[in-house]
Structure 1
Amino acid sequence: MMDRELKKQVQDFERQLDAALDALPTRGWSGTSALRLASELHEIGAFKKGIDEVGYIDRGYSILADRFVSGEDGAASDIERETDQRQMMEDLVFASHFYMIREYLYYSYNVAGAMSWSFQDGRVEIRFADKSIPRQFFTVHNDQLLGSKHYFRDFNHSEEILRLLKDEPEGVVTSNLETAEPLMREEADLKLAAYFSLISPDSQIDLGGYTYEQFLSVYRMLLMKALYHRYFARAQDAVGAVYMPETDLLHGIEEDLGIGPDTARKILKDMVYDRDATAGRVDASYFSLMREGEPDGRIVMRPHHFAIAEGLVNVLRVIAQRRPNAFLEQVSNEIGSAFVRRVKSAWEAEGFICHSEVSLREFDASLPDIDLLVISVEPTLGYMMFVCELKCPVPPRWAKDQLKVLNKDSVSKAFRQVEVLKRFIQTEDGMRFLSRMLPKEGHPHFKGVVVGIEHLIITSDNAGMFFGAESTRVINFRTLERLLRRSDGDLALIQHVLRTYAEHADEALVTKMIEFQLGSLSVAYEAVTVSPLLEFPQGHWRSDPEREAMIDAFVADGMHPFDVFEHRLPDLVVLDHSRGDDKGGD
C-alpha cells in the first residue's frame, strides 16, 4: 500500500502517537472520577455551544473510555487533580486528534492511495488523496441534517415543553410533566423513525436472550429520559450527566414495560460500555452509556449525546461483533429484505414501476438475482430502466467498519455483479427478459420504443467511498430517498443528479488543516469541517399542468422515439413490436 520507507516513517509516527496517549495525565486518574468529569464537560459544552460543537469531546471520550470504565484507582498524588477541568479538556482534545489519526492510519494501511503523508523538518502532514473519503463524510453529515429537517418539519412543541418544565421539580410527576410527556414521546418517535434500523418495531427476532421489540421498548424509554433531562437543562439551567443505579433502572423497566430484570439486564449489557466491552475489544464509539467501574456500578448517561446517538444501529454493531452467528441467522436477512422493501417503496412513491428480487436462473443458474428493477414509462421515448444492486451492511461508525465494504461479500461484490448483468442484458436472452418485464399493456403511444438502461448500486451508507475508480454509480439510500422525494418523478433530474453528485459534493465540502503538537513534532491533518448544505432542486414533472399538453403535441407532430438516435445515448435497446424484432442499441 505504501513504499517501504514511507511505511516505516508512518509506523514510527504511530508508535510515538500511542506512547503519547498512554502518557496522558488523566490516564493515571481514578477511572470513575475521570468518567464523571469528562461526562459533565461534554454535557456543559453541548448545552452552551450545541451538540455539533462538541464532536471532538465525544471522539476523545470514546478513546479514553477504557480507562473511564476500568474501576481503577489513581495514584494518591493525583487525587486533587481529578477535578482539574483544564487537564481533562487538554487530554480529551489530544484523544480526539488520536481518534482522527487512527482513522487515517487504517485507511493508509488498507487502501492504496487513500491518504497522502508528508514528513519533513519536524512536521507531519496528512491529507486526503482519495476524494471519495471526504465526500463520504460530507454526504453522511449532509444527509443527517437534511433528513432531520424533513422528519421534524411539523414538530413545533419545543418551546411548549420548555414552558411546562420551567419551574418544575426534577424527576417529580406533576400535571405539567404529564402534559409534556406526550410531546416528548412524539419527538422520540420521530427520532426513532429517522434512525437506521429497518427492522419492524414489533419484531420478535432473538438478539441474544431478548427480542428486538423488547430492546426497542427499553431504548425508547431511555430516549425519553434523555430528552426530559435535555429539556430540563434548558428550562432551568440544570445541565449535567445523569447517574442511574442499575437496580433502579431495572425496576423502572419492569414497572413501565413489563420486561423482567434478567431480560432487561441482557439488553443493557449490549447498550452500556463497561469492562467486559473493553476486554472484548468492542469499540467504545458504539456506546452512549458508560458504567462506573464495578460490575454493578452506576450507568452514566449524557442526555445531549444519547438524544442524538442513533443507538438502534449501534446495538446491531455490538451484536454483530459479540454474537456473529446470531446476527447472521436472526438479523442479517431481515435487514436485507426490509432494505429492498424500503428502497422499492421510495421509487414507487414517485410513480415508478418496480420489480424486486428478480431471478434470472431460468437463463443461467450462475446469474445473480436483480435486487430491484425500476421502470419509468417515458411518454415520448419508451421506457427507462434502472438495474439496481442493493447492499445493506450495517452502517459504519469508524474506519475499521468502513473498510468492510471492501470485503468480497460486501459492497465491492456489487460491482462484479453489475458487470455480469451488463453482459447478460446484451444477449438475446437478456433482450427477451427486458421485453418481458415491460408493462403488459404496452406503451401508451408507440409500438416501437426505446429502452434506456442504467445500472445503480444502492447501499445502506456508502456513497462511493473507496470506489472512485468504478464507472457504476453508488448512492446511499438516504440520499436516494431525498432525491426521489424532490424529483416529482422527473427522471431527467434523477439522472442528472446521479451523474453530477460527486462533482457538486466536492465543490460544497470544506476541509481545513487541524494542527497539534506531538512531542517535538508538529502534526497537521486534513478534516472535513462545517460545510454548506447541499440540497437537490425541486422537480415539477408529474405535477406540471402543461405536461400532458406537451406529450400530446409531441405525438400530434409525428415525432417518434426512434428520433432519439440523432443524439447518441448510452445503453439503449430498441424494441419494435410492430416488426417483432429486438435490436441491441449502442
Structure 2
Amino acid sequence: MDYASLKQKLQAFERQLDATLAALPSRQWASSSALRIASELYEIGAFKNSGTDRAEYLDYGYAILASHFVAGEVGYQADISREADLRQLIADLSFASHYYMIREYLYYSYNVPESMSWSFGEGRVEIRFSDKSIPRQFFTVYNDQMLGSQSHFRNFNHSAEIIRLLENEPEGVVTPNFETADPLMRAEADLKLAAYFSLIAPDSQIDLGGYSYAQFLNVYRMLLTKALYHRYLARAQDAVGAIYMPEGQLLDGIAGELGISLDIGRRILKDLVFDLDAAANRVDATYFSLMREGEPGGRIVMRPHHFATAEGLVNMLRVIAQRRPQTFLDRVSNEIGRAFVQRVKAAWEAEGFTCLSEVSLRDFDPKLPDIDLLVISCEPTLGYIIHVCELKCPVPPRWAKDQLKVLNKDSVSKAFRQVEVLQRFLRTEAGVQFLARVLPKEGHPHFRDFVVALNHLIITSDNAGMFFGAETTRAINFRTLERLLSRSDGDMALIQHILSTYDEHADEALVTTMVEFQLGSLTVAYEGVTASPLLEFPQGSWRSSPDRQAMVDAFIADGAHPFDVLELHPPDVVVNDHSIRVTADEEVPKK
C-alpha cells in the first residue's frame, strides 16, 4: 500500500477513534465527580499494583480524559460507592488508555511513515513496530529507570520504619511518631529529587516567570514530602485515596513553611496544576500530577502515588517551554545545556579519562562546529583512543509529540550532521594537526610512535537512537552512559564493545505483546513493550586489575608495537610519529 492510500485509511480510523472517545458515557458526567472517581481508582490501582487496574495502565486514560475532569461541567453526579459508576469509569479509562497508545502510533506514522506497520483487514486492524529503534527506546528508558532506582535507593532502608511509625497515627496531626517519621520522609524526598532530571543548581535564582527555580524547587519538595506521607499512610492504615486540597490552605502552608508569598505561591501552583486554562491552551495533561476541580473555588487534587513517582522536574520544564518559550530559551535552555556537558564530562573523568569540553575549531575553519566533548583514553599498548562526542539535551519527552521533536533540525538530528562535518575535517591534514594539539603534552608513556583511534558518539538527555536506526553514529542517552561508565573500571575496550553491541542485546531482552480492544465492530490489536528482563552491563576490572601492569610490561618486553594493529586496518586510525602525520587512508611510513 502506498503512503497516500495508507494515510487516508489512518485518517478514517482516527476519526472513528475520536468519535468513540467523545461518546464515552463518563464524558457526560459532572466533571468533578468523574475526576474524583478516576483519582481514587488510580490510587487503588497503584496500591494493589495488579490486573488491568494497575496505575501505569490507568494513567494513560486519565491523561486523555483530563480535559473533561477539570472542565467544571454539570451533569450526572457519579459516586464511587455505586458499583455501576465504578464499572463504567473503569471501562472508559480502559478505552482511553488504548486511545492514548494508538494516538502515539498515529503521530509516529504521520511523521515517520516507515515507523509502524498497519494492517487493515476485514473487521480487524493490526499495528506493529516496523522501526526497531522505537521499542528499543521504550525498553532502554524502562531499563534505565529500574536499574537506576535500584542503585540510587539501595541505601535507603527506612520504609518499614516509617510505616510502623504511622500505623496508628491520626491523619494530619503532629505526634511524636510523626515527628520521628517526618525527617525520614524528607530525606526520601531529597533522594528522589536528586534522581530526577534537573541539571539546574537547587539554589538557582533563574526567573522562570515570576518565581525563581529555587522557590519552585522548595514548593515541589514540600508537596513531594506531603505525597510520600499520604502514600505511607495508605500502606500503614489501608487508607488508600486521593487528597483534596483547597488552594487557600495550600498557599497558607507554603507561606508558613517556606516563607514564599501568596502571590508567588499562586504562580508556582499555576504551572504545577492542570486546570481549565491548561486544557484551553492545549498544554498536555501528561505534564501534570495535580488537577483542579473546574468549579469556582475548586480544590486541587493530588494522587499521592503519582506525585511521588512522576518526574515532576521534567514536567515543569515542559510546561515552561510551552507557556513561556522565550523565557525557557533565554534563561533555562543554555543553563541546562552547560550543566549537561559538565555532568557527562564528570562521568568520563570519574573513570580516569582525560576530557576537553566545548572545544573550538574556529582557528581551522570558522564554519566548523565546536566539539562538545573530547574524551581521551591513553592506551598503554596502542596509543590513544579518542571519543568525539556531540551532546544534545532537549527536555526528556513525555509523549509522541515530544519524542518526534528530536527530528527537528535544531535537535538530535542536527548532531548526526555535525558528526559528518567533524569526520570530514578530522581526516584532513588540519584535522590531524588538531588531534596532535589535544594529545597530552608529555607524550605517550611507552612509545614515541603510536596510534590514535577515533570514535564518534552522540550523547543525549533521553534519545537512544529512536528514529535514527539508519545512522552509522551511535547515540546513547546519558543515564545509560553513566551506568556503563560506572561499571567499566576505565576499560575502553569494554566500553566500545558495549556501545557497538547494545542494540542487539536490547532487542534480545525486550519483550513485546499484542494488546486488543474493540472499536465498534473492529478488533484493534497493537504491539506494545511490556515488562522485560533487566539488562545490566558486565562489571569491568581493568584499571583496578593487579595484572594490568604485568600485561603491559610483557607487551613491551616482547618487542610488540602499536603499529602491529594496523594489519587489521581499523577505521579512523591516525598514526602520529611527531614528525609525519598521516590518516589511515594514506600509506603508513616504514620504520
TM-score by length of 2: 0.97
Is the partner of 2:559 in helix, strand or coil?
coil
Match of 1:358 in 2: 359
Q: Is the 8 A contact 1:2 1:109 kept in 2?
A: no
- For residues 165-244 of structure 1, the aligned pairs below 5 Å read 165-244=166-245
Match of 2:6 in 1: 6
Looking at structure 2, the residues matched to 170 and 78 of structure 1 have their Cα atoms a distance apart, in angstroms, of: 24
- Superposition RMSD in Å: 1.6
Match of 2:39 in 1: 39
- For residues 554-573 of structure 1, the aligned pairs below 5 Å read 554-573=555-574
Looking at structure 2, the residues matched to 570 and 185 of structure 1 have their Cα atoms a distance apart, in angstroms, of: 52
CA shift for structure 1 position 312: 0.3
Looking at structure 2, the residues matched to 445 and 37 of structure 1 have their Cα atoms a distance apart, in angstroms, of: 71
CA shift for structure 1 position 437: 0.2
Match of 1:256 in 2: 257
Q: Give the letter for the 2:581 counterpart.
A: D
Q: Is the 8 A contact 2:450 2:577 kept in 1?
A: yes
- For residues 313-332 of structure 1, the aligned pairs below 5 Å read 313-332=314-333
Is the partner of 1:517 in helix, strand or coil?
strand
CA shift for structure 1 position 53: 3.4
Q: Is the 8 A contact 2:78 2:85 kept in 1?
A: no
CA shift for structure 1 position 568: 2.2
Q: Give the letter for the 2:117 counterpart.
A: S
Q: Is the 8 A contact 1:29 1:79 kept in 2?
A: no
Q: Is the 8 A contact 1:108 1:114 kept in 2?
A: yes
Match of 1:406 in 2: 407
CA shift for structure 1 position 81: 6.9
CA shift for structure 1 position 169: 0.9
Is the partner of 1:548 in helix, strand or coil?
helix
2:567 matched to 1:584?
A: no
CA shift for structure 1 position 82: 9.6
Q: Is the 8 A contact 2:575 2:582 kept in 1?
A: yes
Looking at structure 2, the residues matched to 537 and 76 of structure 1 have their Cα atoms a distance apart, in angstroms, of: 56
Please identify, of 142-151 and 566-575, the stretch whose mean Cα deviation from structure 2 is larger.
Answer: 566-575
CA shift for structure 1 position 581: 1.1
Structure 2 unaligned residues grouped into runs of 5+:
586-591
Looking at structure 2, the residues matched to 555 and 176 of structure 1 have their Cα atoms a distance apart, in angstroms, of: 66
Match of 2:489 in 1: 488
CA shift for structure 1 position 567: 2.0
Query: Which aligned segments of 4 or more residues in structure 1 are displaced greater than 4 angstroms?
Result: 75-83
Q: Is the 8 A contact 1:28 1:75 kept in 2?
A: yes
- For residues 326-475 of structure 1, the aligned pairs below 5 Å read 326-475=327-476
Q: Is the 8 A contact 2:207 2:213 kept in 1?
A: yes
Looking at structure 2, the residues matched to 230 and 513 of structure 1 have their Cα atoms a distance apart, in angstroms, of: 33
Match of 1:103 in 2: 104
Match of 1:293 in 2: 294
Q: Give the letter for the 2:568 counterpart.
A: H
Match of 2:70 in 1: 69
Q: Is the 8 A contact 1:29 1:78 kept in 2?
A: no
CA shift for structure 1 position 4: 2.1
Match of 2:588 in 1: none
Q: Is the 8 A contact 2:575 2:581 kept in 1?
A: yes
Q: Is the 8 A contact 1:37 1:83 kept in 2?
A: no
CA shift for structure 1 position 295: 4.9
Q: Give the letter for the 1:585 counterpart.
A: A
Match of 2:547 in 1: 546
Looking at structure 2, the residues matched to 75 and 209 of structure 1 have their Cα atoms a distance apart, in angstroms, of: 39
Q: Is the 8 A contact 2:456 2:474 kept in 1?
A: yes
Match of 2:95 in 1: 94
CA shift for structure 1 position 2: 5.5
> Any idea what the Cα deviations from partners look like across 1:375-406, whole Å, max 9, x if unmatched?
00000000000000000000000000000000
> Any idea what the Cα deviations from partners look like across 1:79-117, whole Å, max 9, x if unmatched?
997971010100000000000000000000000201010
Looking at structure 1, the residues matched to 79 and 329 of structure 2 have their Cα atoms a distance apart, in angstroms, of: 47
TM-aligned CA distance change 1:444 to 1:79, over 3 Å: closer
CA shift for structure 1 position 558: 1.2
Q: Is the 8 A contact 2:79 2:85 kept in 1?
A: no
Looking at structure 2, the residues matched to 59 and 240 of structure 1 have their Cα atoms a distance apart, in angstroms, of: 19
Match of 2:277 in 1: 276
Q: Give the letter for the 1:581 counterpart.
A: I
> Any idea what the Cα deviations from partners look like across 1:34-70, whole Å, max 9, x if unmatched?
0000000000111112699321100000000000000
2:27 matched to 1:27?
A: yes
TM-aligned CA distance change 1:455 to 1:531, over 3 Å: same
Match of 1:307 in 2: 308
Match of 2:522 in 1: 521
TM-aligned CA distance change 1:395 to 1:76, over 3 Å: closer
Looking at structure 1, the residues matched to 348 and 78 of structure 2 have their Cα atoms a distance apart, in angstroms, of: 64
Q: Is the 8 A contact 1:128 1:526 kept in 2?
A: yes
Q: Is the 8 A contact 2:30 2:77 kept in 1?
A: no
- Percent identity, aligned pairs only? 74
Structure 1 unaligned residues grouped into runs of 5+:
none
TM-score by length of 1: 0.98
> Any idea what the Cα deviations from partners look like across 1:488-546, whole Å, max 9, x if unmatched?
10101100110000000000000010000000001000000010001100001111111
CA shift for structure 1 position 215: 0.4
Q: Is the 8 A contact 1:34 1:82 kept in 2?
A: no
- For residues 85-164 of structure 1, the aligned pairs below 5 Å read 85-164=86-165
Is the partner of 1:182 in helix, strand or coil?
helix
Q: Is the 8 A contact 2:375 2:388 kept in 1?
A: yes
Is the partner of 2:200 in helix, strand or coil?
coil
Looking at structure 1, the residues matched to 18 and 83 of structure 2 have their Cα atoms a distance apart, in angstroms, of: 23
Q: How many residues align?
A: 584
TM-aligned CA distance change 1:80 to 1:384, over 3 Å: closer
Q: Is the 8 A contact 1:28 1:78 kept in 2?
A: no
Q: Give the letter for the 2:494 counterpart.
A: L
